[in-house]
Amino acid sequence: MSGPGWKAAGLRRSSPSGEEPASSPRVKSSLEADVGTIAGIGPHRSAALRARAIGTLYDALTHLPYRYDDLRRRDDVGDLLPGSPAIVEGVLQSLSDRPMPGRWSRRIASALLKQSSGKSIRVVWFNLRTASLPLGEPLLLVGRTNCGQRGIELVHPEIYRLRFGPPPPIRPVYSLPPEVPQKLFVRIVTEALRRADQTSLGSIPTSLRKRAQIGAMLDALQYLHRPSAEADIEKLLSGRTPAHRVVALDEMFTFQFALARERARQRTRRGAVVNGPRHLSSLMQASLPFALTSSQQRAVDEIASDLAAPCQMNRILIGDVGTGKTVVAFCAAVRAAESGWQVAIMAPTELLAEQHFANFNLMCGGLGINAALLTGKMATRERARILRALLRGDIAVVFGTHALIQEGVALKRLGLAIIDEQHRFGVFDRARLAALGSQANVLLMTATPIPRSLAMTLFRNLDVSSLEETPSGRIPVENAVVTEEALEMVDSMVRAELESGRRAYYILPTIESEDDLESVTAAAKRLRTGTLQGFSIGTLHGRMRPAEKDEVMRRFRDGSVQVLVSTTVVEVGIDVPQASAIVIIGAERYGMAQLHQLRGRVGRGNQASRCWFVLSQQCSKEARARIQQLARCRSGAEVAELDLRLRGPGDLFGVRQTGSLPLRFAHWIHDSALIEQAGDLAAEWITHDPELATEESVGLRIGLERMLELGFSLADVG
């Protein structure tokens, strides 16, 4: 198993049991000083910054601007439009101030900014006294326009007094709490840059960086926080500068080194050896009502080979929606059980655990393998019976959720742990499951659409099996892209599906808003009183308690609910072959991979299925084109490649990625070339200094510690 981040890094980190593994002491850096030590940052501002994950000078230094203002340009006030950014030069005239309505202790200051052309614009400041505004001298004002009672006005702009020198050519703008002004944060960054040094700031060792001709981390950050007058503003705004690449590569190098080190350690760990006769495995495959696809068979053979080896298996099974990952997992479970080992299969929801348990009994019930289901809602007496049977070794395969890793659960001879939808579990959940058997082999499963070549590079601490084919007999889902005006027609087509005994999903981006077409509440009300009147309609969203959500999904699965109106909580964890229609409203608000996962909720039976992508009236032409291209994609690999082509590698630089992996600068799908380069560099350095004992590795040690503090997990990349 990939294990917790501290295990990969070889650094100090609390274990699930509360013990701390032995490791080298923490390396300190001058950038770990608290932001509260900077003049002007009191307790209130310090707390506001910490709420944005900016607690140290290092945090401030790596909090990159979200946009840049090009102060090299000058705007003519006659060309300004309401709501647009403005950079105007001139002199202030006719100052006045008055109390703010309802707040007599605060003042509104106003003036006219007159340009050399003779044109002028009204400027307004809130809670600013006129005594602080310089009259009659050349100024540069930077702000945003608004439509006031007297026409277009410039609202609360920043002032640069040109007689004291020119302003910066390009001004970085940061996403900050309202308590922290931009200029104050610039002062924090300036102090961080002053204290930073090349050795401890970047993770890539100097000799390796120079051989690979990679720029220094400090130089890159200096450029991003203080762009030069020659900087390309378009590349800065899109995150496509060489400096952006240096920052992303440094982050990915840290991640890839941890993977490489963990991989090396895995080769020394002994695992449960599964080498018994294959009698039950042969019977199982012969009894299946379908033939395994070639990629399924290849994955089964790869897993069997790993299980028979003396070292611990750590493999990830990547398969698109509908490619048959579950059958491959069951083949592995049977292989372990027939060799005398126990198997634990953990799913993120009780409903999915129940589905796996029922399907296993359906496929393997005649093999004589004793299986059980262990969930949190189980009666105390039944739970105690199962726990005793697990401890005796009477149960060969146990299915469950987090209940499998709760106190009191012990298995006599765990040889294989299988984690489905692995990105839904934290790293310590995985560690606790593997801890039920110290030599347990681990198989992770994920439906993330990702090309095999990229997966081999990304998951360097894991062996990769991928499923590229859809089992025969599956009818491709028919896709349609429509606008909100066509909803009535879509509802009528869904009604026809329901009248044929099938079921349908409606997916909405928000939960509540009676007047909003894109909310679960409004959609359910509209359907109950409209075209789908008379059919049983259930609602599902994230504010419901887990037990409530499971109950609604069970009723939908069993047919007492025919239409499920939901947010994206149905993206994984529910398998209803009778569902043949899905309507995704506000489709442009979702990512490509998420839309593909949602579409995968239908098309699981032997009947034709349909998916409608419903676009809102505000949908842009670009978003419409993106959804139309998605509708033509059939596989997750196609979706991933399309996403890469449309968005490119640079658009997410500087934005914290969603999910468990704390990558802030690199994107694990779009930056495939960067990931591969970082992996090669990490593999080179681990042969040179595997224990990070040299002076050159100080920056890498610090980088690994910081990544741990962000919640780094080697198995969270799905």
Under the banding of pLDDT at 50, 70 and 90, the label for residue 381 is very high
- pLDDT in the model for residue 13: 36
Q: CA torsion 309→313→318→322, rounded to 10°?
A: 70
Last residue of a domain, one of 417, 434, 467: 467
* CA 622/CA 558 separation, integer angstroms: 40
pLDDT beyond 90 at 486: yes
Last residue of a domain, one of 149, 167, 185: 167
> Same structural domain for residues 482 and 459?
no
Last residue of a domain, one of 633, 654, 682: 633
Q: For the whole model, what pTM was predicted?
A: 0.65
> Same structural domain for residues 432 and 518?
no
Under the banding of pLDDT at 50, 70 and 90, the label for residue 361 is very high
| Chain-centre distance for alpha carbon 7 | 23
Query: What pLDDT, in 10s, does the model give residues 177-204?
Result: 989 999 899 999 999 999 988 766 889 9
pLDDT beyond 50 at 444: yes
How confident is the model over 600-605, as a mean pLDDT? 86
H/E segment holding residue 564:
strand 563-566
**Lowest-pLDDT range of 197-201, 404-408, 702-706:** 197-201
- pLDDT in the model for residue 452: 60
Query: What pLDDT, in 10s, does the model give residues 382-398?
Result: 999 999 999 999 999 99
pLDDT beyond 60 at 208: yes
Under the banding of pLDDT at 50, 70 and 90, the label for residue 408 is confident
> Same structural domain for residues 495 and 563?
yes
How confident is the model over 121-145, as a mean pLDDT? 86
- pLDDT in the model for residue 662: 55
How confident is the model over 286-306, as a mean pLDDT? 94
Instruction: Give domain status of residue 290, yes or no.
Output: yes
For 562, phi then psi, to 5°, come to -100, -25
- pLDDT in the model for residue 473: 67
* CA 129/CA 124 separation, integer angstroms: 11
Is the torsion defined by CA of 526, 532, 534, 536 positive or negative? negative
Residue 474 gets which letter from DSSP?
Answer: P
Instruction: Give domain status of residue 662, yes or no.
Output: no
Instruction: Give domain status of residue 601, yes or no.
Output: yes
- pLDDT in the model for residue 618: 84
- Sheet-wide strand order for 463-467: 371-374, 397-400, 342-346, 414-419, 441-446, 314-319, 463-467
How confident is the model over 287-307, as a mean pLDDT? 94
The total of other beta-carbon atoms located within 10 Å of residue 14's CB is: 12
Instruction: Give domain status of residue 504, yes or no.
Output: yes
pLDDT beyond 70 at 649: no
CA 678 to each of CA 405, 670, 701: distance values in angstroms, whole numbers, following the listed order: 35, 14, 16
Under the banding of pLDDT at 50, 70 and 90, the label for residue 420 is confident
CATH number at residue 354: 3.40.50.300
Of 259, 319, 635, 650, nearest in space to 458 by CA: 259
How confident is the model over 223-239, as a mean pLDDT? 92
How confident is the model over 548-570, as a mean pLDDT? 91
- Sheet-wide strand order for 563-566: 478-483, 610-615, 579-585, 503-507, 563-566, 537-540
- Calculate ∠ Cα 335-458-652, nearest 5°: 135
- pLDDT in the model for residue 199: 67
For 700, phi then psi, to 5°, come to -70, -40
> Same structural domain for residues 432 and 557?
no
- pLDDT in the model for residue 622: 85
268 strand-pairing partners: none
> Same structural domain for residues 407 and 505?
no
How confident is the model over 327-337, as a mean pLDDT? 97
Report whether 466 contacts 452 (CB < 8 A): yes
User: Cβ neighbours of residue 440 under 8 Å, at least 6 residues apart?
Assistant: 1, 271, 272, 312, 344, 414, 415, 416, 417, 433, 434
Report whether 588 contacts 627 (CB < 8 A): yes
Instruction: Give domain status of residue 34, yes or no.
Output: no
Under the banding of pLDDT at 50, 70 and 90, the label for residue 668 is low
The number of residues making up the chain comes to 718
User: Cβ neighbours of residue 558 under 8 Å, at least 6 residues apart?
Assistant: none
**Average model confidence (pLDDT) across the chain:** 84
> Same structural domain for residues 383 and 483?
no
Instruction: Give domain status of residue 656, yes or no.
Output: no
Q: How many domains does the chain have?
A: 3
286-319: b or e for each residue (b if 16 or more CB lie within 10 Å)?
A: eeeeeebbebbebbbebbbebbeeeebbbbbbbb
- pLDDT in the model for residue 672: 72
Instruction: Give the amino acid at 182.
Output: Q
> Same structural domain for residues 393 and 484?
no
> Same structural domain for residues 500 and 407?
no
- pLDDT in the model for residue 454: 63
How confident is the model over 415-442, as a mean pLDDT? 71
The range of the structural domain enclosing residue 151 comes to: 72-167
How confident is the model over 678-682, as a mean pLDDT? 92
> Same structural domain for residues 445 and 548?
no
How confident is the model over 264-283, as a mean pLDDT? 88
> Same structural domain for residues 493 and 555?
yes
> Same structural domain for residues 323 and 381?
yes
Instruction: Give domain status of residue 364, yes or no.
Output: yes
Instruction: Give domain status of residue 55, yes or no.
Output: no
Share of the chain above pLDDT 70, in %: 84
- pLDDT in the model for residue 222: 95
- pLDDT in the model for residue 430: 55
How confident is the model over 229-238, as a mean pLDDT? 91
Under the banding of pLDDT at 50, 70 and 90, the label for residue 11 is very low
- pLDDT in the model for residue 2: 36
How confident is the model over 210-220, as a mean pLDDT? 93
pLDDT beyond 80 at 712: no
pLDDT beyond 70 at 656: no
> Same structural domain for residues 462 and 610?
no
* CA 446/CA 444 separation, integer angstroms: 7
Query: What pLDDT, in 10s, does the model give residues 30-89?
Result: 788 899 999 889 999 999 999 998 999 999 999 999 999 999 999 999 889 888 889 999
More confident residue, 130 or 118: 118
For 325, phi then psi, to 5°, come to -65, -35
